[in-house]
């Protein structure tokens, strides 16, 4: 009987302890679950806040991007206007150099005869002295000045390309494209003339200095003179056409420049 009571007592104690353990784990599990829920709730709130901050940041970034694009467009138009003004000024300088070359070309025959009359022995040609060499030096300087302006053709064309878009105010894509084509065509002719005229001046210099050579004969003299004259005639014709085309370019340049500045 005592044994039976002890077993029953032990069993009761065991069940009581077991219930306490089960209750403890239940409370712990529930507490853990609540904690997790709280963490998830906090995380959710943080995500919402983070999302709101991201939306605000996105709006700010879009605003700055819009301002940047607006400023960039304005900057391109301003830069292009400056390049066009610089190029237009250069065209007037080029026209002055063209006029200088044309006037000097008309004096070549007179300066040539004057140089010959200075010395029957042709020593003036050996020393590269006399009116014809002064004439030649002035034309070399003029073509050197013209070649310096070559980069302005490329600059104007490159700047125009940056505003060849419907967003450019005051003009159209077609007008900009048309002006670019004119500049490119004239630039090509300009480069051809510059190279051809430089070649002509080199041929002239060789011809004049060769006159002092002892082995110079009439046949060689005549052939060299004909060759130089052909080059000169071709260059002068090319120059007059180029000058005419350059003058026609001035008004479109000024018109587009004024439109860009006004807008």
CATH number at residue 100: 1.20.120
Measured CA to CA, the distance from residue 188 to residue 180 in angstroms comes to: 12
In a domain, 157, yes or no: yes
Average pLDDT over residues 86-96: 93
What pLDDT score was predicted for residue 29?
53
Q: Please tell me whether residue 216 adopts helix, strand or coil conformation.
A: coil
Quote the percentage of the chain above a pLDDT of 90. Answer: 54
Helix axes 173-210, 131-148, angle to 10 degrees: 150
Measured CA to CA, the distance from residue 159 to residue 144 in angstroms comes to: 25
- Cα distances (angstroms) measured from residue 33 to each of 30, 37, 44, 129: 5, 6, 16, 108
Measured CA to CA, the distance from residue 114 to residue 133 in angstroms comes to: 11
Average pLDDT over residues 22-40: 54
Torsion angle of the four alpha carbons 39, 44, 48, 49, in this order, in degrees rounded to the nearest 10 = 0
In a domain, 244, yes or no: yes
Percent helix, strand, coil in the chain, to 5, is 90, 0, 10
Number of structural domains in the chain: 1
pLDDT score of 231 more than 80: yes
pLDDT score of 158 more than 90: yes
Q: Name the least confident of 53-57, 92-96, 176-180.
A: 53-57
What pLDDT score was predicted for residue 61?
47
| Mean of per-residue pLDDT scores for the chain | 80
Average pLDDT over residues 28-50: 55
pLDDT score of 254 more than 50: yes
In a domain, 97, yes or no: yes
Measured CA to CA, the distance from residue 260 to residue 102 in angstroms comes to: 35
Q: Nearest to residue 221, comparing CAs of 210, 235, 237? A: 210
In a domain, 195, yes or no: yes
What pLDDT score was predicted for residue 122?
81
In a domain, 9, yes or no: no
Measured CA to CA, the distance from residue 262 to residue 259 in angstroms comes to: 5
Q: Name the least confident of 10-14, 121-125, 169-173, 186-190.
A: 10-14
What pLDDT score was predicted for residue 77?
87
CB 84 within 8 A of CB 253: yes
The more confident residue out of 66 and 209 is: 209
- Cα distances (angstroms) measured from residue 260 to each of 19, 90, 252: 89, 19, 12
The more confident residue out of 1 and 196 is: 196
Average pLDDT over residues 59-80: 56
What pLDDT score was predicted for residue 211?
87
Segment 208-212 long-range contacts (CB within 8 Å, at least 24 positions apart): 208/115, 208/125, 208/128, 208/132, 208/133, 208/136, 209/125, 209/126, 209/128, 210/125, 211/122, 211/125, 212/122, 212/123, 212/125, 212/126
pLDDT band at 73; cut points 50, 70, 90: very low
Measured CA to CA, the distance from residue 135 to residue 108 in angstroms comes to: 7
What pLDDT score was predicted for residue 2?
32
In a domain, 164, yes or no: yes
The more confident residue out of 56 and 214 is: 214
In a domain, 33, yes or no: no
Domain enclosing residue 189, as ranges:
77-262
Measured CA to CA, the distance from residue 246 to residue 58 in angstroms comes to: 51
Q: Name the least confident of 62-76, 83-97, 225-239.
A: 62-76
pTM above 0.85, yes or no: no
Q: Nearest to residue 91, comparing CAs of 251, 198, 228? A: 251
Helix axes 150-162, 131-148, angle to 10 degrees: 20
In a domain, 5, yes or no: no
């Amino acid at each position: 009987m005592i044994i039976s009571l002890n077993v029953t007592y032990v069993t009761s104690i065991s069940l009581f302890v077991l219930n306490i353990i089960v209750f403890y784990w239940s409370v712990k599990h529930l507490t853990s679950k609540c904690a997790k829920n709280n963490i998830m709730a906090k995380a959710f709130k943080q995500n919402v806040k983070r999302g709101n901050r991201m939306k605000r940041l996105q709006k700010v970034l879009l605003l700055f991007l819009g301002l940047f694009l607006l400023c960039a467009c304005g900057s391109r138009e301003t830069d292009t206007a400056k390049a066009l003004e610089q190029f237009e000024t250069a065209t007037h300088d080029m026209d002055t150099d063209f006029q200088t070359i044309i006037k000097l070309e008309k004096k070549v025959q007179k300066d040539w005869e004057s140089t010959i009359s200075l010395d029957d022995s042709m020593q003036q040609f050996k020393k590269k002295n006399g009116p014809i060499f002064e004439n030649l030096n002035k034309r070399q300087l003029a073509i050197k000045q013209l070649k310096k302006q070559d980069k302005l053709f490329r600059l104007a064309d490159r700047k125009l390309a940056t505003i060849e878009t419907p967003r450019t105010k005051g003009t159209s894509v077609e007008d900009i494209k048309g002006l670019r084509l004119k500049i490119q065509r004239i630039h090509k002719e300009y480069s051809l003339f510059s190279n051809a005229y430089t070649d002509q001046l080199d041929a002239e210099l060789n011809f004049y200095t060769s006159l002092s050579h002892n082995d110079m004969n009439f046949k060689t003299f005549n052939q060299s003179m004909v060759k130089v004259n052909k080059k000169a005639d071709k260059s002068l014709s090319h120059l007059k056409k180029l000058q005419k085309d350059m003058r026609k370019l001035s008004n479109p340049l000024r018109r587009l420049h004024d439109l860009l500045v006004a807008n």
